[in-house]
Amino acid sequence: MNDAIPRILVNRAKDKLARGETVYSMTVRLVRTVDIASIASTAGFDSIYIDLEHSSVSLEDAGQICMACNALGVTPLVRVPGLDAPLIARVMDSGAMGIILPGVQSADEARALVRAVKHVPVGERSLAGAAPQLNYRAFPPEQVIRELDSASLVVAMIESRAGLEAVEEIAAVDGVDMLLVGANDLSVELGVAGQMDHPSVHEAYLRVIAACTASGTAIGIGGLGGWPDLIEKYLGLGASYVSTGNDISFLLGAATAKRRQFEDRA
């Protein structure tokens, strides 16, 4: 492809990760409207990820939120329920700037993820034509493929013993941009459910960090929104993406705090 063509599409979160800067993200599980994009932007988040694994958010709603995020400079990522290439293609064709795949357990799964996100010849995704990420502007197909593939963020989640055992191979897969540690499920797998400060969870994080550092892959922190000291620790060790929490916990936390504020005055 012609690399002399100026770059048009920018994934701000991906660019920050490439520079070693910290990306802060919030998860969407509850809100179905585009307002969440404005809230994320006003709150200063670099990215959101829409969770299609643990919510009933529809593909249509996810696409609308993605488009609103793109207009506001907030990078929209979508966590899909599993390795489903047709669904991944539809999510990307709806405006997402990246895919998060839960429970990756092998390098083969990671390679299949890359093939699902990237277009031919790098991957196996077909070209849909005018892309929402490019505001449906007409460009030569070669340029559209280059823009979409270079801007897309491919994220593999490590949240099982099998994934942890294969983490070095997964991190080295060409096209995988980031490994995101799913600390909740991983702690369950390790027999220390919810104990995020347990030595076994810490050792798992260190192994992921070492694997990513060796391969030049970004490191994401997940499941530690209630553990700011641990987030600070892993940022200091090389992590650069923080999943801070989801809209349910944010709303419930603020509502609970406000109610207690008035209780204390009574």
Q: Tell whether the model's pLDDT for residue 68 goes beyond 50.
A: yes
Residues 15-35: tens digit of each pLDDT: 999 999 999 999 999 999 999
- The whole-number pLDDT of residue 130 equals 87
* Over residues 214-237, mean pLDDT: 98
What are the chain's domains?
12-152+224-265 (3.20.20.60)
**How far is residue 89 from each of residues 48, 195, 199, 229, measured CA to CA in Å?**
19, 36, 39, 37
Residues 175-214: tens digit of each pLDDT: 999 999 999 999 999 999 999 999 999 999 999 999 999 9
Residue 230: in which H helix or E strand, if any?
helix 228-236
Share of the chain above pLDDT 70, in %: 97
Q: Are 139 and 84 in contact (CB under 8 A)?
A: no
String of DSSP letters for 201-255: HHHHHHHHHHHHHHHT-EEEEES-TT-HHHHHHHHHTT--EEEEEEHHHHHHHHH
* Over residues 254-264, mean pLDDT: 90
* Over residues 73-100, mean pLDDT: 98
String of DSSP letters for 102-166: TT--SHHHHHHHHHHHSBTTTS-BPP-SS-GGGTT----HHHHHHHHHHH-EEEEEE-SHHHHHT
- The whole-number pLDDT of residue 4 equals 47
Radius of gyration for the chain, computed over Cα atoms and rounded to the nearest angstrom: 18
Instruction: Quote the CA–CA distance of 93 and 90 in Å, as a whole number.
Output: 5
Q: Tell whether the model's pLDDT for residue 266 goes beyond 90.
A: no
Closest to 34 (Cα-Cα) out of 56, 75, 67:
67
DSSP 8-state secondary structure symbol assigned to residue 172: T
Share of the chain above pLDDT 90, in %: 94
Catalytic residues: 54
* Over residues 231-251, mean pLDDT: 98
Whether residue 121 has a cis bond before it, omega within 30° of 0: yes
Please give the structure tokens belonging to residue 23: 């990306």
Q: Are 103 and 157 in contact (CB under 8 A)?
A: yes
